[in-house]
């Protein structure tokens, strides 16, 4: 059972022959053969070719998965007349169709550039605030004693699933009532940010609290005995150790807010609108202005994609956060 042992030592690297599970039919080519006489001819044959078949299927699937985004990219690199006349794949036969004019026209539009900055203005504070507020709260839940702590935490967990739809109308009313001089909460960037922070908190608190709770007690005790105040402990011990979790949380929240449409539709007016809302307002004439929509959509996804690829380790970690025991 050497393969079994090997696999047990490397549970995270199931490649090659050490890979344990088999798809229906694609037998783990050769491994575990020690002493399993009933694999059946069919299974063994499939096992031999299994690797190759799986590879080609996966290559096809990967290509297929890329086609839609690729189509958008190509469409954004063609002129409006070309897009109105034929599909984007014609570019392969007529490479001269490629042009950057749609992008330059788009970047000349102050509306679009403004909406880009709005997106940044909404997303960055929303992310930072969630991380900060949730860290404090999570620390309190993890390491501080107070009456009703467990019930309160359960309440926070319960809030994880609340759909934003429930809050749209009431908060709209609430914001409408908050005005100072000429400034109104409803329609402002602040309103959007606060809403995102509020709805990001349950998950954030949950994630961080679990993480913080795992920090060894001794470290905390030691820090306390050294006479540190809670705040110092938080800053010097918890925050640094919680790094990975905080990073995943930050990235999640960043992507979530950057890509949001519904909250922006309700709570942001034209001055405050992020790119998603701007794009949506352009959708009215879908084929008529594909020369605006395609580059706009593509530009709006560049930043999230970049963030994703740069931090994909944390990303996946965050997604995995705890679904597997």
Partner 1 sequence: MKAPKDGVPPAATAGGAAAVADPAPDPPRKRRSRERLTPPSWLALLFLLPALALLGFLVVYPIVYSVIRSLFDATGDAFAGVDNYTGVFQGRENLIAVRNTAIWVVVAPSLVTIVGLFFAVLTERIRWATAFKLVVFMPMAISFLASGVIFRLVYQQDPDKGVANAAMVAIHDTFAQDTGYPGAGPRGGGDQPLREDAGGVATTGTHSAGQSVLMPLVKVKPEYVPDGAEPAAQPPPAQAGQVTGTVWFDFTRGGGGEPNVPNAGETGLPGVKVEAVRGGEVVATATTNADGTFTMADVPDGAYTIRLPADNFTAPYRGAEWLGSTLITPAIIGSYLWVWSGFAMVLIAAGLAAIPRDALEAARVDGATEWQVFRRVTIPLLAPVLMVVAVTLTINVLKVFDLVYIIGGGDPNASVLALEMWTEAFGGGNDQGAGSAIAVLLFVLVAPAMLFNIRRIRQERT
Partner 2 sequence: MAILPQPGLMKQYAEKGSLKPLSPDVVSEVDKNFSPYWKELGSSGDKTYGVMIKAAYKSILWYRPQAFSDAGVQPPTTWQELVTAAGTLQEAGTTPFTLAAGPDDSWTLTDWFENVYLSQAGPENYDKLAEHEIKWTDPTVKKALETLAEIWGKPDFLNGGVATATKTKFDESVTQAFGQEKAAMVYGGDFAAANIATTNAKVGTDAKVFAFPKAGDTAPAILGGDVAVALKDGEGAQELMKFLASPEAGKVWAGLGGYLTPNKNVPPDAYADPVAKELIGQLQQAGDAARYDMSDLTPAAFGATPGDGMWEALRTFVQKPDDVAGTQKKLEAEAAEAYK
Task: Report the interface residues with partner 2, using CB under 8 A.
Answer: 80-81, 84-85, 284-289
- Provide, rounded to whole angstroms, the least separation between the CB of residue 97 and partner 2: 15
Q: Which does 117 bind (CB under 5 to 8 A by kind): partner 2, partner 1, none?
A: none
60 binds partner 1 (CB under 8 A): no
Task: Identify which of 115, 114, 117, 80 has the alpha carbon closest to the alpha carbon of residue 99.
Answer: 80
- Residue 23 contacts residue 47 (beta carbons within 8 Å): no
193 binds partner 1 (CB under 8 A): no
- Provide, rounded to whole angstroms, the least separation between the CB of residue 75 and partner 1: 6
Six token digits for residue 209: 């609290």
177 binds partner 1 (CB under 8 A): no
Q: Cα–Cα distance between 239 and 236 in angstroms, integer? A: 7
| 182 vs 284, beta carbon nearer partner 1 | 284
- Provide, rounded to whole angstroms, the least separation between the CB of residue 124 and partner 2: 32
Angle between helix axes 110-143 and 275-282 (nearest 10 degrees) is: 140
Lookup result for tokens 């908050």? 178
Size of the site for partner 1 (CB under 8 A): 153
27 binds partner 1 (CB under 8 A): yes
Lookup result for tokens 């050490």? 18
Alpha helices, H only, the chain: 2-9, 41-76, 80-85, 101-107, 110-143, 149-158, 165-176, 189-213, 217-225, 230-233, 239-241, 243-258, 262-267, 275-282, 290-310, 312-320
Per-residue contact string for residues 140-159; x = within reach of partner 1 by CB under 8 A: xxxxxxxx-xx-xxx-xxxx
116 binds partner 1 (CB under 8 A): no
Q: Cα–Cα distance between 108 and 46 in angstroms, integer? A: 58
Q: Which does 176 bind (CB under 5 to 8 A by kind): partner 1, partner 2, none?
A: none
Q: Which does 80 bind (CB under 5 to 8 A by kind): partner 2, partner 1, none?
A: partner 2
| 285 vs 312, beta carbon nearer partner 2 | 285
């Amino acid at each position: 059972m050497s393969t079994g042992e090997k696999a047990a030592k490397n549970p995270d690297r199931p490649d090659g022959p050490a890979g344990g599970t088999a798809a229906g039919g694609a037998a783990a080519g050769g491994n575990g053969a020690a002493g399993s006489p009933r694999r059946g001819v069919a299974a063994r044959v499939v096992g031999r070719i299994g690797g190759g078949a799986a590879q080609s299927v996966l290559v096809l699937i990967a290509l297929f998965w890329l086609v839609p985004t690729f189509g958008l990219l190509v469409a954004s690199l063609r002129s409006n007349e070309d897009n109105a006349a034929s599909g984007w794949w014609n570019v392969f036969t007529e490479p001269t169709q490629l042009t950057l004019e749609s992008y330059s026209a788009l970047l000349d539009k102050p509306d679009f550039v403004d909406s880009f900055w709005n997106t940044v203005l909404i997303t960055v504070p929303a992310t930072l605030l969630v991380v900060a507020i949730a860290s404090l709260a999570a620390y309190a839940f993890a390491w501080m004693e107070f009456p009703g702590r467990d019930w309160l935490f359960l309440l926070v967990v319960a809030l994880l699933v609340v759909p934003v739809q429930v809050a749209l109308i009431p908060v709209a009313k609430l914001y409408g009532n908050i005005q100072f001089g000429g400034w109104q909460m409803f329609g402002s960037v602040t309103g959007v940010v606060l809403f995102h922070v509020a709805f990001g908190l349950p998950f954030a608190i949950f994630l961080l609290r679990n993480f913080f709770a795992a920090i060894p007690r001794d470290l905390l005790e030691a820090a306390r005995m050294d006479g540190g105040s809670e705040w110092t402990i938080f800053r010097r011990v918890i925050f640094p150790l919680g790094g990975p979790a905080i990073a995943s949380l930050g990235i999640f929240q960043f992507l979530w807010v950057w890509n949001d449409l519904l909250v922006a539709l309700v709570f942001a007016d034209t001055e405050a609108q992020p790119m998603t809302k701007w794009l949506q307002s352009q959708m009215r004439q879908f084929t008529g202005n594909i020369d605006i929509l395609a580059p706009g959509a593509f530009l709006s996804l560049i930043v999230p994609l970049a963030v994703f690829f740069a931090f994909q380790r944390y990303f996946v970690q965050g997604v995995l956060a705890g679904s597997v025991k």
